[in-house]
Amino acid sequence: MGYNKANNLIEKYLGKKATLKEEETVESWYINYARNKEDKLPEPDYEAVEAEVWSILEPKPKRSWSWQRIGIAASVALMLSLGIYFYNSSDRKMASKAKYATDIVPGRNRAIIRLANGKQIYLSDLKSGVSIKGKQLVYDDGSNIEAIHAKDAEVLTISTPRGGQYNVELPDGTLVTLNAASTLKFPSTFLGALNRVVELDGEGYFKVVKNKDHPFIVNTTKQDVKVLGTHFNISAYADDPTTLTTLEEGLVEVRSKNGSKGTLLKPNQQSILTASNRITVKEVNVTDELAWKNGLFIFNEENLESTMRKISRWYDVEIYYQDKLPPMSFLGSISRSKSLSTVINLLEKSGGVHFKIEGRRVIVMK
């Protein structure tokens, strides 16, 4: 069952629109969760929750709601609102709560700007973005960083390390948000250029300023994306098996480096470029795909390896697989502001996998 289907089923349960079989399914999730949880869910304060619960659980004829079921509904509502409902498609048994000797804080605003002359500027982690204003580099609050003295356009490079992210406003006003371990190369000015061309390695979300006379092109190692003005996300990490382009608004053309024909994307579509240079297109939930930009991890039937790569980049840790594990996938969401131990503890609760933190290394075990 997919994440959206699970969410819809829980919402039907809370709205008393679920069939008897659907109600039993939701209650079985809760019962299984409570049975296997080391720290049992506390007994609800029935008097305190009665008014709130009955406001969404109106009784229907021929179907009575006991206090036990109201408690279940309240707990299911809590799990849904916290966004920590996880299940593992290969093994749904809950693991015992892990103990970690060390912990690692989440990523933050971190980036480096490299000028054409080789000078490196470490951007402030107290700021969230940088922009190009004429011949001046400035922070998003208007404070100056560095003057650009080149007479012609020079190539600037902004890089986020593992455990970092940053915003950049390009000379044409286009806004880019870079995810962790990502690099964007761009000119200090687009004046005189037929096309507005930038290079991306890693992941970035783009809000491109419209200019039909000067298309905006994002080059990656394996593909080029051409737009006139639109909002889209590209994930092109070297260690990922595919390159993903997700369109939020507008129209883009995706073309592999070795392909002759471009593929057009419409809003809410995602192109997947494989190692064999084959492009496929599917419908996606854009909110889920852009969750990283909004401070969330969302795992939607995501396999273990992909999940751990995201964790590795954001927390700047090495992942080591001690055991060979069966295929498994994860479903759920959690804030990227949480500590590493909080995130992997939730993954553990989905069953079938355990973790150990040693310095900046996460060991994955049975």
Reply yes or no on whether the pLDDT at 234 is more than 90: yes
Question: What's the rounded mean pLDDT across residues 179-196?
Answer: 95
| Contacts of range 191-195, beta carbons closer than 8 Å, 24 or more positions apart | 191/153, 192/153, 193/153
The whole model's pTM is what?
0.74
Pairing of strands 182-187, 155-160: antiparallel
CA pair distance 320, 308, nearest whole angstrom: 10
Dihedral in degrees, nearest 10, Cα atoms 204, 188, 128, 285: -20
Residue 30 binned pLDDT confidence (cut-offs 50, 70, 90): low
Reply yes or no on whether the pLDDT at 336 is more than 70: yes
Q: What is the pLDDT of residue 81?
A: 43
Q: What is the pLDDT of residue 357?
A: 94
* Three-state SS letters, the chain: CCHHHHHHHHHHHHCCCCCHHHHHHHHHHHHHHHHHCCCCCCCCCHHHHHHHHHHHCCCECCECCCHHHHHHHHHHHHHHHHCCCCEECCCCCCCCCCCCCCCCCCCEECCEEECCCCCEEECCCCCCEEEEECCEEEECCCCEEEECCCCCCCEEEEEECCCEEEEEECCCCCEEEECCCEEEEEECCCCCCCCEEEEEEEEEEEECCCCCCCCEEEECCCEEEEECCCEEEEEECCCCCCEEEEEEECCEEEEECCCCCCEEECCCEEEEECCCCCEEEEECCHHHHCHHHHCEEEEEEEEHHHHHHHHHHHHCCEEEECCCCCCCEEEEEEECCCCHHHHHHHHHHCCCCEEEEECCEEEEEC
Mean pLDDT for all residues in the chain = 82
Question: What's the rounded mean pLDDT across residues 170-197?
Answer: 95
pLDDT in tens, 262-299: 899 999 999 999 988 899 999 999 999 999 999 999 99
Question: What's the rounded mean pLDDT across residues 69-94?
Answer: 46
Q: What is the pLDDT of residue 178?
A: 98
Domain residue ranges in the chain: 3-82, 289-365
Q: What is the pLDDT of residue 4?
A: 62
CATH for 289-365 is 3.55.50.30
Q: 58 or 191: which carries more pLDDT confidence?
A: 191
Quote the tokens at residue 47. Answer: 């008097």
